[in-house]
């Protein structure tokens, strides 16, 4: 029979961290068993001359006092003869039904799988995130990379080895995605510790942990950086001719994006109520901007004409609603560009590629086209162009003093850009002599 141990206090039990089994006293044979990040109560008893172990539930969900009470109840049950039962449990043999003993009711540890915790965490945090798309990205990356490895595993048992099993296959090839997956796993495990579902060091933490196992993501990004393919501005006029010949909402959304030098999320969520035709401005709310700062885009005559040509739709406030309803997806604009490129190549043309990247231009790349045109053709000041594409000024001192939006100067630039987009063939620009000082 196990020796009676000295009674430990609840505080002393909570402080236990080493691997092993610790007698906590109060009831003979009661132990706290620590295995990895899992801590649970067990009661050791002798049945038919053999030592058996009864599970009493996880710690701290089952407190020390509750564990002692359960252990005492199990000990009292031994006044009736005990018979073996499948597994490592023991039950009393009742005289009325000796051939079918009634199983002893053992409290089962409540399971908190990583997937359950992740879904609960996402549901709790999603209302505060930038958009529904952000929450969808959390779910999709975890479903693709994390759940196959640790989704069904109890969150208390997730280890650094599991995290590395998830990250290693994609760390060098999909660095940005991998770093986000790591951060998301870390957040979920921190939440699980807050809920007392697990204890100890977070195995997904980077500092003094994963950093010793994987190369720096900053160095990998620097080595593997690939820019969005951009169309040279010398080919823009020809592209716009082909684009304007294409029908459909995707073509018009792409045209709007080029004329306004906007990002995709700004285009896809564009609302009619955001456009002021009297002032010729499109105000993109902060919630849809990368920097989360409201951005006012001056509209050229060409952009206004495009807006006025669009059908009013079915009452939706979206300027470019998807055919199936809701917002467009970025794949629709990418497919449009690919189609125009392939058609030009089929006619014997060079297509619409970025000569440096060796890839077909992208919607985001047209922002670079605008930036190059503004600097090389228009000779516009750098800070005005950075404001035009809603970039943050890299020089902190300059940004601290440059708090205006340069709206009037940007209106002049966008008007010149609109005219340039309507030039079917690139020629030595007439506006070279008109520097930004003329604005």
Helix (H) or strand (E) run with residue 360 in it: strand 359-360
Please indicate, yes or no, whether residues 285 and 380 belong to a single structural domain of this protein: yes
Q: Answer yes or no: is 104 within a domain.
A: no
Please indicate, yes or no, whether residues 412 and 293 belong to a single structural domain of this protein: yes
Mean pLDDT over each residue of the chain, to the nearest integer: 82
Please indicate, yes or no, whether residues 350 and 383 belong to a single structural domain of this protein: yes
Q: What distance in Å separates the CA atoms of residue 144 and residue 164, rounded to the nearest whole number?
A: 15
DSSP 214: S
Q: Answer yes or no: is 102 within a domain.
A: no
Q: Of 62, 92, 122, which one is at a domain's C-terminal end?
A: 92
With 0.85 as the threshold, say if the pTM is over it.
Answer: no
Phi, psi of 319, rounded to the nearest 5 degrees = -75, -35
**Cα–chain center distance at 110:** 28
Q: How many other CB atoms are found less than 10 A from the CB of residue 38?
A: 15
Which of 210, 252, 432, 244 has its CA nearest to residue 340? 244
Please indicate, yes or no, whether residues 191 and 79 belong to a single structural domain of this protein: no
Q: Where residue 283 sits, what CATH number does that domain have?
A: 1.10.443.10
Per-residue confidence (pLDDT) for residue 49, from 0 to 100: 67
Q: Of 58, 92, 126, which one is at a domain's C-terminal end?
A: 92
Per-residue confidence (pLDDT) for residue 299, from 0 to 100: 96
Domain count for the chain: 3
Q: Where residue 61 sits, what CATH number does that domain have?
A: 3.30.160.390
**Cα–chain center distance at 207:** 20
Please indicate, yes or no, whether residues 276 and 401 belong to a single structural domain of this protein: yes
Kindly report, residue by residue over 369-427, the tens digit of the pLDDT.
999 999 998 888 888 888 888 876 555 444 444 445 788 999 999 999 999 998 877 66
Q: Answer yes or no: is 216 within a domain.
A: yes
Please indicate, yes or no, whether residues 253 and 341 belong to a single structural domain of this protein: yes
Q: Of 23, 57, 92, which one is at a domain's C-terminal end?
A: 92
Peptide bond before residue 60 is cis, with ω within 30 degrees of 0: yes
How many CA atoms, within 13 angstroms, populate the side-chain half-sphere of residue 219? 4
Phi, psi of 29, rounded to the nearest 5 degrees = 90, 5
Mean per-residue pLDDT for 161-189? 93
Please indicate, yes or no, whether residues 275 and 418 belong to a single structural domain of this protein: yes
pLDDT level of residue 52 (50, 70, 90 thresholds)? confident
Phi, psi of 321, rounded to the nearest 5 degrees = -70, 145
Q: Where residue 195 sits, what CATH number does that domain have?
A: 1.10.150.130
Q: Answer yes or no: is 2 within a domain.
A: no
Contacts 24+ apart (CB under 8 A), 29-32: 29/1, 29/2, 29/71, 29/75, 30/56, 30/67, 30/68, 30/71, 32/59, 32/67
Q: Answer yes or no: is 71 within a domain.
A: yes
Q: Answer yes or no: is 109 within a domain.
A: no
Residue 286 tokens read as 């902060």
Q: Is the pLDDT score of 278 beyond 90?
A: yes
- Would you give the end-to-end CA distance of the chain in angstroms? 94
Please indicate, yes or no, whether residues 358 and 376 belong to a single structural domain of this protein: yes
Q: Answer yes or no: is 350 within a domain.
A: yes
Please indicate, yes or no, whether residues 284 and 391 belong to a single structural domain of this protein: yes
Please indicate, yes or no, whether residues 172 and 295 belong to a single structural domain of this protein: no
Q: What is the domain range of residue 119?
A: 114-224
Q: Answer yes or no: is 374 within a domain.
A: yes
Phi, psi of 386, rounded to the nearest 5 degrees = -65, -40
Of residues 243 and 405, which shows the higher confidence score? 243
Mean per-residue pLDDT for 308-318? 82
**Is residue 48 within 8 Å of 39, Cβ to Cβ?**
no
Please indicate, yes or no, whether residues 355 and 278 belong to a single structural domain of this protein: yes
**Is residue 21 within 8 Å of 31, Cβ to Cβ?**
yes
Per-residue confidence (pLDDT) for residue 97, from 0 to 100: 37
Please indicate, yes or no, whether residues 302 and 423 belong to a single structural domain of this protein: yes
pLDDT level of residue 220 (50, 70, 90 thresholds)? confident
């Amino acid at each position: 029979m196990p020796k009676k141990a000295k009674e430990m206090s609840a505080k002393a039990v909570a402080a236990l961290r080493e691997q092993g089994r610790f007698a906590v006293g109060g009831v003979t044979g009661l132990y706290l068993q620590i295995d990895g990040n899992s801590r649970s109560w067990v009661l050791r008893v002798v049945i038919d001359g053999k030592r058996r172990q009864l599970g009493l539930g996880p710690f701290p969900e089952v407190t020390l006092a509750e564990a002692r009470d359960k252990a005492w109840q199990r000990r009292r049950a031994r006044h009736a003869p005990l018979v073996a039962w499948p597994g490592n449990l023991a039950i009393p043999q009742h005289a009325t039904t000796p051939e079918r003993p009634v199983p002893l009711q053992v409290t089962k540890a409540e399971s908190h799988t990583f997937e359950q915790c992740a879904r609960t965490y996402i549901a709790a945090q999603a209302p505060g995130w930038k958009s529904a798309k952000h929450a969808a990205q959390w779910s999709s990356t975890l479903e693709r990379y994390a759940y196959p490895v640790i989704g069904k595993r109890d969150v208390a048992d997730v280890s650094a080895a599991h995290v590395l099993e998830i990250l290693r296959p994609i760390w060098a090839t999909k660095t940005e995605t991998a770093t986000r997956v790591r951060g998301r796993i870390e957040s979920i495990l921190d939440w699980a510790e807050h809920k007392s579902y697990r204890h100890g060091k977070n195995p997904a933490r980077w500092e003094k942990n994963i950093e010793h196992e994987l190369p720096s993501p900053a160095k990998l990004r620097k080595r593997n950086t690939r820019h969005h393919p951009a169309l040279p501005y010398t080919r823009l006029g020809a592209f716009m001719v082909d684009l304007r010949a294409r029908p459909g909402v995707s073509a018009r959304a792409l045209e709007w994006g080029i004329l306004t030098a906007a990002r995709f999320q700004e285009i896809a969520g564009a609302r009619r109520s955001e456009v002021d035709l009297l002032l010729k401005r499109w105000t993109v709310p902060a919630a849809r901007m990368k920097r989360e700062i409201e951005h006012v885009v001056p509209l050229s005559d060409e952009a206004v004409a495009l807006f006025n040509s669009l059908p009013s739709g079915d009452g939706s406030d979206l300027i470019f609603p998807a055919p199936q309803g809701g917002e467009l997806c970025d794949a629709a604009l990418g497919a449009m560009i690919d189609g125009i490129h392939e058609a030009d190549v089929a006619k014997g043309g060079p297509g619409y590629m970025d000569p440096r990247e060796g890839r077909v231009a992208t919607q985001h790349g047209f922002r670079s086209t605008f930036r190059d045109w503004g600097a090389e053709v228009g000779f516009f000041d750098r800070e005005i162009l950075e404001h035009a594409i809603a970039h943050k000024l890299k020089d902190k001192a300059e940004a601290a003093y440059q708090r205006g939006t340069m709206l009037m100067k940007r209106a002049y630039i966008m008007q010149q850009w609109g005219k340039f987009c309507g030039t079917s063939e690139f020629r030595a620009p007439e506006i070279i002599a008109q520097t930004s000082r003329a604005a």
